[in-house]
Every structure is written in C-alpha cells, then in structure tokens.
Structure 1
Amino acid sequence: MDTLSLVLDAFAPIAGRRLLDVGCGPGAMAAALAGHGAWMTGIDPGAAAIAAARDRAPNCTFEAGSAESLPFADGSFDGAVILNALHHVPDPRAALGEAARVVVPGGRIVVVEPLAEGSFFVALRPVEDETAIRAAAQAAIADAIAAGRFRCLSDTTFVRRETFADRDAFLERVAAVDPARRIAIRDNAGAIATAFAAAIERDANGRCGLSQPLRAHVLVAVREPA
C-alpha cells in the first residue's frame, strides 16, 4: 500500500470530486490527484510551499492559510486530505474540526500521519524530535473518534520506504519540509551522522534506505441533528 493508492480508494470514483489538501506543501499530492480528475484546492501556511505548488500544478488552486482556520465556507468540498501535516499544526483538534466543517455531509477526510518509530524517524530525531507532536496528532484523532465527532471507516498502518544517495540527500529532503531545520543540521552534525549511519539499510546499489510507518484514518464527520 502507498498513500496515493489509499487516497484514490477512499474517494473512488475520484474524477470530478472537489477535494481540499490541508497542509499541501509543494503540491505533490494535489498534482497527483488532479491527474486522476479531481478538482484540487491546497492550503499551507508556507509562502514558499504555495509558490512551489502553483508552479508544480497550475491547474489546481492554492492558498496560504492555517489549518486551524480554513478560509472556506461550510460544505465547500466533497472531501479533504491531511497528509503528514496534522502533527505540524499547533492545535490538531481545531484542524480536524475545520476539515469536518468545510466538507459536505458524509464527505470523507483522509488523515495520514507518521508514527514515532521506524528508521526514518530515528535518523530525523537529531534534526527535530517529533515524538511529542506525532503523539499529540494521534491523540487528537483518537479523542475525536471516541467523542463521536467522527466515524472511522478504516484505520490502516503501512510503511513508506525511501532511498537516498547519501546523508546529504536525506538532509536536503528533511530541510525542504521545514527550512528552519537547517539550523539544527548545522549545529548537530555529529549526532545526525551517528544516527543516520545506525538507521540506514543499504540496497544492492549502495543507496541508503529508511523506513517510516504511517497510520492512515479514513473518517466521516458526525454532525449533530439540526
């Protein structure tokens, strides 16, 4: 399983659906879904990410903004995706509530989040230790389901494996997600090198492999009776 296949399955048939990509980053997923016929809108707080997304997918709409206060009317979208982004939101509960607000009744929300485990996480930790924020995102999802605000259609864990030519390529990848990480990369070079060397698995071509377990929830918001 991979993230794109999971999202396509969740929204099948996807052609013609109006979808919101919350925390869209440079627009890779929005572009992929648009390629399958979805009408995509992406939102991200980073101006550089939005500029990159507009260059990558000029047929999509991208806006700068916060997941905790989406600039869209109620029921604007057929569904929403939040991919590897909820743990970066200061208030993940508010972000889930906003995603529920802007989708139509019965619309699905796909949330894919990295877990605080796996070799990719081990290599990343000296750059940025996301243990607490990843746990907070999972807690927000679990609490929303337990409180009856969402019905969970599926809860799946799968592994994303990435390969890199070397440590520098890995560091460029993680810095692209958050340029502020370049400070830690500069200041913690020794610890980063040690963690990376311990975490990697080299393939037959000598490339460095890292694995990241991802947990995917497909949710439907439960609205109170009028």
Structure 2
Amino acid sequence: MDSLALILEAFDPVAERSLLDIGCGSGTLARALAARGATVTGIDPNPAAVAAARHAVPTGRFAVAGAEALPFASASFDGAIVLNALHHVPDAPAALAEAARIVRPGAAILVIEPLAEGSYFTALRLIEDEITVRRAAQAALAAAIAAGRFACQRDITFARRESFASVDEFLRRVLAVDPARAEAVRDRRAQIEAILSDVAESDPERGFALVQPLRAQVLRNRP
C-alpha cells in the first residue's frame, strides 16, 4: 500500500474528476493525477513551489494560498487531497473546515498524515521536531469527526519505507521539503549520522532505509 494507490482508490475513477491538491508542493501528486485524466487544481503557500508545480503540470491550475483560506467557491470540487501537509498548517481545524466547504456534498476528502513515530521520524527530530504539530493534526481530525463535520469512511495506517544511498541523499530529501532546515542540518550533522546508524535498517541495494508510518483517512463531506 502507498499514498498514490490510496488516492486513486478513494477517487476511482479519477478521470475527469475535479480534484484539489491542498499543499501541492512542486506538483508531484498533481502531475500523477493529471496523467490519469483528472482536472487538477493545487494550492501552496510557497510561491516557489507553486511556480514549480505550474511548470510540472501545464494543464493544472495553481494558486499561492494557505489551506485556512482557499480562494475557491463553495462546492466547486469533486474531492480534495491533503497529502503530508495538514501538520504544516498553523490552523488545522480551519483547514479542514475549508476543505469541507469547497468540495461538493458527499464528496471525499482524503487526508494522509505522517505519525509521530518510526525511524524516519526519529531521524528527522534532530533537524525539526514535529511531534507537537503531528499530534495536533491528528487531534484536529478526531475533533472534526467527533463533531459530525465528516463521516470517516476509511481509516488505515501503513508504512512508507524509503531507501537512501548515503546520509547526504537523506539530507537532500529533508531539505527539499523545507530549505529552512539547512542550519540545523549543518550544525547537527554528526548527531544525525549517529542517529541514522542506530535506527536505520540495512538496505543491501542502496545503503540504508527508514520507515515512516502514515495514517490515511477518507472523510465524506456531510450533505
């Protein structure tokens, strides 16, 4: 099981669906969806990421915006995806409310979030400790479901295993997500190497591997 497989299953058939990628980054997911015939719109608060997404997906529509205030009319999408992004949003409850607003009644919102556990998370904590924001994202999801804003159609936890040929490759991956981590990477290089030595799994083909558990929830917007 992986994130893309879950997304394709949740929105099957993807072709011709109008989907919003909330926190689209440089457009990796948007490109995969567009290649399968979806009409893709993406938002991200980072202008450089949005520019990269526009280049990657010329047929898509992209905007610089935060998830708490989406610049779209209510009930204008067939579904929304929040992939590894909710914990980066300063106001997760507001972001979930906006996602509910912009999808059509009964449409799905798929949220996939990394949990505060696993060897990848352990290694990342030396660079950026996300334990508080990851737990806050899970709490916001639980509160929205408990309040009846959504019906949770599916709730699954799975593991993403990523292999790296070197410490430098791992650090490039970490910095691609957030270049602001550069100072921590530089100052804590020796500690990072020590942690990786302790928690990483051996990968005979590449070098080492890290595991990150993720939780995926398919939410149905209330009619």
Pick the TM interval, shorter chain: over 0.9
Q: Shift of the alpha carbon at 1:94?
A: 0.4
Kindly tell me: are residues 130 and 114 of structure 1, through their superposed partners in 2, closer, same or farther at Cα, counting changes over 3 Å?
same
Tell me the number of residue pairs that the alignment of Structure 1 and Structure 2 aligns.
223
Query: 1:52: how far off?
Result: 1.4
Amino acid at match of 1:47: P
- Give the residue type in structure 1 aligned to 2:14: I
Amino acid at match of 2:111: V
SS state at 1:113 partner:
strand
1:28 pairs with 2:28: yes
Q: Give the structure 2 partner of residue 105 of structure 1.
A: 105
Equivalent residue for 1:218? 218
Q: Are 2:202 and 1:202 equivalent residues in the alignment?
A: yes
How far residue 206 of structure 1 moved from its aligned partner, in angstroms, is 4.3
Cα separation, 2, equivalents of 1:199 and 1:73:
46
Counterpart CA distance in 2 for 1:60 and 1:123 is 35
Map 1:30-179 → 2, pairs under 5 A: 30-179=30-179
CA RMSD of the aligned region, Å?
0.9
Counterparts of 2:194 and 2:69, CA distance in 1: 40
Work out the CA distance in 2 between the residues paired with 1:11 and 1:161: 24
Please say if residues 164 and 206 of structure 2, whose CA atoms lie closer than 8 Å, have aligned partners that are also in contact: no
Task: Answer whether contact 2:54 2:60 (CA < 8 A) is retained.
Answer: yes
4+ aligned runs moved over 6 Å, structure 1:
none
Letter in 2 for 1:155: D
The C-alpha deviation readout for 1:101-139, integer Å capped at 9, x for no partner, is: 000111100000000111110111100011110000000
Deviations 1:55-92 (CA, angstroms, capped at 9, x unpaired):
21112111111000000010111100000000000000
TM-superposed CA distance for 1:205, in Å, is 2.0
1:172 CA displacement: 0.6
SS at match of 1:68: coil
TM-score for both structures, normalised by structure 1: 0.96
Going from structure 1 to structure 2, the CA distance change for 1:151 and 1:169 (only over 3 Å counts) comes to same
TM-score (norm 2): 0.98
For residues 131-178 of structure 1, the C-alpha deviation after alignment (integer angstroms, 9 at most, x for no partner) is: 110000000000000111110000000011111111111111011111
Ranges in structure 1 where 5+ consecutive residues have no aligned partner:
none
What does residue 12 of structure 1 align with? 12
SS across alignment from 1:216? strand
Are 2:104 and 2:221, in contact at CA under 8 Å, matched by a contact in 1? no
Q: What SS does the corresponding residue of 2:215 show, helix, strand or coil?
A: strand
Q: Distance in 1 between matches of 2:80 and 2:212?
A: 23
Where 1:87 maps in the other structure, the secondary structure is helix
The residue matched to 1:180 in structure 2 has which SS? helix
Give 2:190's aligned residue: 190
